[in-house]
């Protein structure tokens, strides 16, 4: 468990560096980073079935992920101020910490969440596709972001609980680190969206 969280900490540092570098790059590079990130996720899924992924892959991915989310964070900073970003970061950190403690110390097996989380991800994807064509009202965006928050807190519970109950082989630690990183970054983005939608609804 300690090796997993150490790897996760380093991956978040690489993401922060990527996010910092993103402000100095043209928008075209940020768009390219999103495409590369998607390709790397697909590649990781195939690689995990045949052989373990390594830390160079994980840290490269998290750096590129940091690049890709810079425009998203910059847009919220411009619209609502930097305070909303720091607030989302703080809530994400506390949510992850609490969920990790519950998942690692509880005698409950959270593996039953797998099916619900999969259905939730499908629902998020479908709602996201619909939003591209019809847009979301503030209320719908609040519901969508709240659903995303609930799903990725569920994934933190599921992933950390699985590590605590079953352990993880040394060669699979980078893959687990990548999975937890995706849980955290998606949780952060949905929390940020929720705060943004809440601020818009009050205007």
Task: Give the 3-state DSSP-derived string for 127-157, with helices as H, strands as E and coil as C.
Answer: HHHHHHHHCCCHHHHHHHHHHHHHHHHHHHH
Q: Is the pLDDT of residue 50 over 70?
A: no
Residue 107 buriedness (CB in 10 A; 0-12 / 13-18 / 19+): exposed
d(CA 66, CA 114): 27
- The answer to whether residues 189 and 15 touch, using CB atoms and an 8 Å cutoff, is no
Q: Is the pLDDT of residue 185 over 90?
A: yes
**Count of beta carbons in the 10 Å neighbourhood of residue 164:** 16
Alpha helices in 23-137 (DSSP H): 27-50, 55-80, 82-105, 113-134
**Tokens linked to 140:** 């719908």
Lowest mean pLDDT among 27-36, 81-90, 176-185: 27-36
Query: What mean pLDDT, rounded, does the chain reach?
Result: 88
- The answer to whether residues 118 and 106 touch, using CB atoms and an 8 Å cutoff, is no
pLDDT band at 107 (very low <50, low <70, confident <90, very high): confident
d(CA 16, CA 21): 9
**Tokens linked to 54:** 């390594």
Q: At what angle do helices 2-22 and 55-80 cross, to 10 degrees?
A: 50
**Tokens linked to 2:** 């300690």
Instruction: Tokens 């630690």: give the residue.
Output: 173
d(CA 53, CA 177): 10
Count of residues making up the chain? 203
Average pLDDT over residues 3-17: 93
Average pLDDT over residues 152-159: 94
DSSP annotation of 53 reads -
Q: Is the pLDDT of residue 201 over 80?
A: no
- Residues 92/82/8/180 CA torsion (nearest 10 deg): 40
């Amino acid at each position: 468990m300690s090796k997993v969280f150490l790897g996760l900490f380093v991956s978040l540092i690489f993401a922060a560096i990527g996010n910092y570098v993103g402000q100095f790059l043209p928008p075209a590079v940020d768009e390219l980073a999103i495409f590369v990130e998607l390709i790397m996720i697909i590649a990781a899924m195939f690689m995990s079935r045949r052989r373990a992924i390594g830390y160079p892959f994980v840290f490269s991915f998290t750096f590129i992920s940091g690049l890709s989310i810079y425009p998203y964070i910059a847009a919220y900073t411009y619209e609502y101020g930097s305070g909303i970003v720091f607030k989302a970061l703080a809530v994400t950190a506390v949510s992850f910490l609490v969920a990790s403690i519950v998942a690692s110390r509880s005698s409950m097996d959270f593996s039953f969440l797998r099916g619900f989380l999969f259905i939730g991800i499908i629902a998020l994807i479908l709602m996201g596709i619909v939003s591209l064509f019809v847009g979301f009202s503030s209320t719908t965006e609040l519901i969508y972001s709240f659903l995303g928050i609930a799903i990725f807190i569920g994934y933190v519970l599921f992933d950390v609980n699985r590590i605590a109950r079953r352990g993880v082989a040394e060669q699979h630690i980078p893959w687990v680190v990548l999975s937890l990183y995706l849980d955290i970054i998606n949780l952060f983005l949905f929390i940020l969206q929720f705060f943004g939608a809440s601020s818009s609804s009050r205007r």
